[in-house]
Each structure stands twice: as structure tokens, then as C-alpha cells.
Amino acid sequence: MQTNPSPSKPFVVPVFLPHAGCPHRCVFCNQHSTTGQDEPLPSLSAIRRTIREFLAHRKERARRTEISFYGGNFLGLAPELITLLLATAAGFVQEGQADGIRFSTRPDTIDAARLKLIARFPVTTVELGVQSMNDAVLQQSQRGHTAQSVREAVALLKTRPYILGLQMMVGLPGDTPATALATARQIADLAPQFVRIYPTLVLRGSQLALRHFRGEYTPLSLEAAVALVADLYQIFRRHDIAVARMGLQAGPELTPDADLVAGPFHPAFGEMVQSALWLDAISRHLEKEGLQKGDVVLEAPARLLSQIKGQKDFNLLDLLQKHQLRSLEVRANPDLAEETVRINGQPCARW
């Protein structure tokens, strides 16, 4: 069945299938921690119930709705199971309650046979867990595939009308800022419609936790992860690729008392990255326009103000100090377009 996908932000109905279809455990992974769910494969009636409950809570029916299978390796499941799950979700699409189906899967599960298997269902979006385009990093993370597997999977997927999302991680074993930047550039060259960027966390029960306890692995600091992801974000935006998410979603398992052993987790990680990007953009503008030691007024739409000010006004304090400003005022301006900041009346270029 062919569909007409649109890359605009969908309303996602998540169905978590933790580790379902995984050939093995990658060193960083513990889907129980990230999905908050233990059971790998809920029954079809439980899946239908979850979908109905989510749909009942949807406020804006105008938004494209996708039923999504996450948390495992969807195309790694047995073909009969893939068919059953897709048929279950497709029922909601046929009833007009959803517009399509999405799933995440490993690059090495994309082949002609599986694409043929899913072609009769209303699949709109496919997300690939790429994690890195560096073979040494992939090997140390025990991913079990190479960067070439990613290139081949993308080439095959691009013969179909799916919206394509690629996920990458930073701070994996053997990863450096240079390999992460190279990964982002190679992913950008593959031209997906969107990406997700996840800093590696040390999760209880993962192999990485063992390596961490042995002193063989040190995660990125929060500060380093924010700075690195800000650089990656700029690469994707310069290529017009949407960044759908930065950092894992907060949940009860992602706390030090539960499954978070170490690593750069923050519930507002994405906001911190945006804040770092604004600090950089505003700083460059002040220098370029010779506004050091002057009076500066920043105007922005209300929803951007917290990003511009930074956590605990960090950005404002940094700008005041670094540029020795006489005064710095921040005003909400409802007339400004989204993502627009004006400095003393002039637009501030972000990239």
C-alpha cells in the first residue's frame, strides 16, 4: 500500500517492544530503562488497548498520527510477527483513526525481502539506529554491523516513499568529538528527513555499566555532551535536516536511584543544547556589530526566552561578563516569527 507521507511533526502513538527482534545486546543498551517496560512482546489485545488509550488522549486530530513500534529491532522479528503487528496497526489506519505506521530497526535488517513484506501495509516512516559511521566505534559498541550496512540500507529505503529518520549517539566507546562530527557529516550526506541524537548513558544491566565499574569506560560530561551535540545540530540544520530529538526522554527509570548509573543525562538536554546555540549566535552577533561594552536589548518570542536566558540565567551572565556590557535587557516580542531573535532591532543570524 503506498501512502503519501509528510515530514511534519506527527502525533506518535508509541508501542514499545523492548529488545524484540534484537540479535544480541549492544553494549550501551537497556531498553527496560529507556522504555520503562519489561515485557518484550505484549499481546495483540494489549497492543490494541494501548493504541486506543493513546488515541483517546489525542487533542489535535489535525496532526498526522502515526502508530509507532519502538524499543527493539522491528524488522528483526519473525516475518509472521511483523505481519501480525503491522496488520494490527493498519486496522486503526483503515478506520481513519491514524494516518500511518512507523518503526525503528537496525540497518542490517533492511533488505529486499523485508521491504516487500511491509510494502502492503501503510508504513510511513522508518527509523534506523545508526549510532555511528565509524566502524571501530560500531565494533567496540558491539553493534554487529558496519557503516556500509547503513549506506546500503539507506539506498534501499530511498527506493520507497518512506520518511527516513536516522539515529546517532555520541560518547560511545571509542567515539571522540572528531568521529562524532564525521558521523554527523556522513549522516547528513545520506539526506534523511530527520535525525535523533542521543548521548550515551551508562545504564544498569548494560555491558557498559560493567566496563564503567572496571574503569574501562568514562562517559561524556554533561557540559561536553551539550557542546558536542550543539555542533552536530548545526551540521544537520545547515543541511536542512530536522533534529527530532536530542537526549533521552525523562522517565522514572532514568534516575540514579533507578537505572541511570552515570552519563550526561538531563531532562532538559535538548533545551540546554538550544541555549548553548543561542549563546554562541548572540555572542558572535555582538562581536560582529561591535556592541561590546554597550547597552543591549534582546527580543524574542516568549517561548524562546528560557532558551536565550539559559539555565539559571547562565547565558545572560556569560554575555554580560564576556562582552563587558553596560546593560542587557531581554524582552518578549509576540510579533517576531518563531526562531527569530533581534538584538538592538537587528535580526541575529543563528548559523
Task: HSE, CB side, 13 Å, CA atoms: give it for residue 311.
Answer: 12
Nearest by Cα to 106 from 125, 86, 122, 127? 127
CB of 104 to ligand SF4, least distance (A): 8
- Angle among Cα 304, 189, 280 to the nearest 5 degrees reads 30
- The site string for ligand SF4 over 274-313 (x = CB under 6 A, - otherwise) reads ----------------------------------------
Distance, in Å, from the CA atom of 268 to the CA atom of 223, rounded to the nearest integer, reads 13
Closer by beta carbon to ligand SF4, 72 or else 247: 72
Closer by beta carbon to ligand SF4, 28 or else 92: 28
- The site string for ligand SF4 over 14-53 (x = CB under 6 A, - otherwise) reads -----x--x--xx--x-x----------------------
CB of 169 to ligand SF4, least distance (A): 9
Q: Is 264 in the site for ligand SF4 (CB under 6 A)?
A: no
Residues 304-313: contacts with CB within 8 Å, 24+ apart? Answer: 304/278, 304/338, 304/339, 304/341, 305/330, 305/332, 306/271, 306/275, 307/271, 307/274, 307/275, 307/278, 308/275, 308/278, 308/282, 308/341, 309/275, 310/275, 310/278, 310/279, 311/268, 311/272, 311/275
Closer by beta carbon to ligand SF4, 74 or else 92: 74
Closer by beta carbon to ligand SF4, 76 or else 301: 76
- The site string for ligand SF4 over 71-110 (x = CB under 6 A, - otherwise) reads -xx--------------------------------x----
CB of 106 to ligand SF4, least distance (A): 5
What number of chain residues touch ligand SF4 (CB under 6 A)? 10
In sequence order, the β-bridge partners of residue 158 are none
Decide if 125 contacts 157 (C-beta within 8 A).
no
Q: Site residues (CB under 6 A) for ligand SF4?
A: 19, 22, 25-26, 29, 31, 72-73, 106, 129
